[in-house]
Amino acid sequence: MLLRGGTLVDGTGVPERRADVGVRGDRIVFVGDAARSAIRAERTIDVTGLIVAPGFIDPHSHTLEDLSSPAHRGNDAYLMQGVTTVVTNNDGGGTTEIGSRLAAWARDGIGTNAALYVPQGAVRRQVMGMSAAAPTSAQLDSMRAIVGRGMADGALGLSTGLYYAPGSYATTDEVIALARVAAQGGGIYDSHMRDESSYTIGLVGSINETLRIAREAGIPVHISHIKALGTDVWGQSDSVVALVAAARAAGLTVTADQYPYLASGTSVGASLLPRWAEAGGRDSLRARIADPVVRRRLVAEMERNLVRRGGAASLLVTAPRDTLLRGQTLAQVAAARHVTPIEAALDIIAAGDAGVASFNMKESDLRTFMTQPWVMTGSDGSDGHPRKYGTFPRKLRQYVYDDRVLTLPQAIHASSQLAAESLPLPDRGVVAAGKYADVIAFDPTTVADRATYVSPTLLATGMRYVLVNGRLAVDGGRVTGVLAGRPIRHAAGPSR
């Protein structure tokens, strides 16, 4: 196959250039002037006027369920963004059965390539339930064994969600013990940090904890969806960047990913409850909500957390899809029910909780992070938030073409080679002869996100051709339905 006449942005960060791209089987075999080299192809696609680039790589998604379900394994939401590889099991959540999940994907087919982390929260839950206690040495050994098996079965490394229960019940030392096992397997450490705000140890305290884990476990570290969450920490992006820069200068491998939205996606419970309220699981939580004395303490702490989040008008209910509350803010729900926002929140949590978009970031912090050479694009895509359908095109439309925060080669590099090198995913993330043929071609005049907080599942526009391992997954702007993706196992080896 020959993509002829396009403008190539190859993923390395160098300026765009005119080049044709030839593909045979699952590999790129030619980059250059096809006419001059007398290249002949079975199918030639005219991509004049389009940008040709490496398929995008998403280091943080929540696609485990979609990729494992017959209806959604095509991963269309991502293909239409130009994403050809997703990583999942982030935030310490997901399956601990790495080997069987990768094998099932290979057997059943998936629309994009996909890789997995071993999720620390799920590992802890498997061994200790929702207990907030410290593990016994036997329990710690069990957790280490699960991580070791996951690494041997092909996981990229260890993910944590130290903000969420039960991952949050792990001390720094407990995490270091597990990260050492991932390090022995040549993996990396990916973390949704303990606190992106001012809940417990604070944003800067969390950066320091994350760097300490990396240093003491001897492992490359990746910070998930880097941000400064809430008015208490707005403006601290400079301090975070300085800490990371110092760690990198001292020889630590530190990277991060980011989605280009000012709202995070979470739930009423996760955003407002103190973590002690969740110890023991849902029944214990309901009992605490029902106990008048405990409830008073709970309400007081939740009121403080609501201030951190920017108040009840800053939480917009987005999921589940069939909830009658969808599209209303917590302030509107409370007003309609004639109760305080915290009382309304407790009712929602007791009834099974709801997904929310939490508007808690500042544009200047977002841009400070985005322009760091170690920050890549990551969707953190979840149901109810437009980032699942819009992250990568939005970065191009708003931050390259409209606001010129990044150049096009910079934005493409942050969405491809930077991720491929840090995960690592060998032979992906660059358009060059010999690499896997994960290649996209998009229209620079129409590439854009359409998904919004009200309509979060609108597919992005502008993506005309998407090749996954040399096969057309999007042809002329339409998903073809071929399941050309592959499970990607960690490239084992002592070279890291």
Interface residues toward Zn ion, by CB under 5 A: 91, 192
CB of 60 to Zn ion, least distance (A): 7
Q: How far apart are CA 490 and CA 86, in angstroms?
A: 13
Closest to Zn ion by CB, 55 or 121: 121
Q: Are strands 51-54 and 7-8 parallel, antiparallel or unpaired?
A: parallel
- Which of 10/353 has CB closer to Zn ion? 353
Which lies closer to Zn ion via its Cβ, residue 90 or residue 469?
A: 90
Q: How far is CA 99 from CA 104, 105, 146, 284, in A?
A: 9, 10, 12, 34
Is residue 190 within a helix (H) or strand (E), and if so which, with residue range? Answer: strand 188-192
Nearest C-alpha neighbor of 423 from the set 217, 106, 27, 116: 116
Cα–Cα distances in angstroms (integers) from residue 483 to residues 107, 164, 375, in the given order = 11, 34, 30
Residue closer to Zn ion, measured from CB, 161 or 186: 161
In eight-state DSSP terms, residue 226 is -
- In the complex, residue closest to Zn ion by CB: 192
User: Least distance from C-beta 72 to Zn ion, angstroms?
Assistant: 21
Choose between 192 and 362: whose C-beta lies nearer to Zn ion: 192
Closest CB to Zn ion among residues 61, 75: 61
Place of tokens 């001897």: 218
> In the structure, how many helices (H) and strands (E) does the chain have?
17, 23
- Among residues 192 and 464, whose Cβ is nearest to Zn ion? 192
Pairwise CA distance, residues 470 & 380, whole Å: 26
Tokens 């339905």 locate to: 481
The beta-strand segments (E) located in 12-126 are: 17-18, 20-24, 27-32, 44-46, 51-54, 56-58, 83-88, 113-116, 118-119
CB of 234 vs Zn ion, minimal distance in Å: 19
Phi, psi angle pair for 277, to nearest 5° = -70, -20
Going by DSSP bridges, is the β-strand pair 56-58/463-468 parallel, antiparallel, or unpaired? Answer: unpaired
Closer residue to Zn ion, CB minimum distance, 112 or 264? 264
CB of 227 to Zn ion, least distance (A): 10
Least separation in angstroms between residue 224's CB and Zn ion is: 5
Q: What is the dihedral of CA 35, 39, 43, 49, to 10 degrees?
A: -30
Pick 153 or 380: Cβ nearer Zn ion? 380
Residues, the chain: 496
Bond preceding residue 70 cis, omega within 30 of 0: no
| Tokens 């969707």 sit on residue | 379
Residue found under tokens 């799920």: 122
Helix, coil or strand: residue 73: coil
Q: In this complex, which beta carbon is closest to Zn ion, that of residue 91 or of residue 438?
A: 91
What is the rounded CA–CA span in Å between residue 440 and residue 84?
A: 9
Distance CA 163, CA 184 (A): 25
Q: How many whole angstroms separate alpha carbon 376 and alpha carbon 358?
A: 22
Residue placing its CB nearer to Zn ion in the complex, 192 or 394:
192
How far is C-alpha 154 from the chain's CA centre? 19
> Are the C-beta atoms of 264 and 225 separated by less than 8 Å?
yes
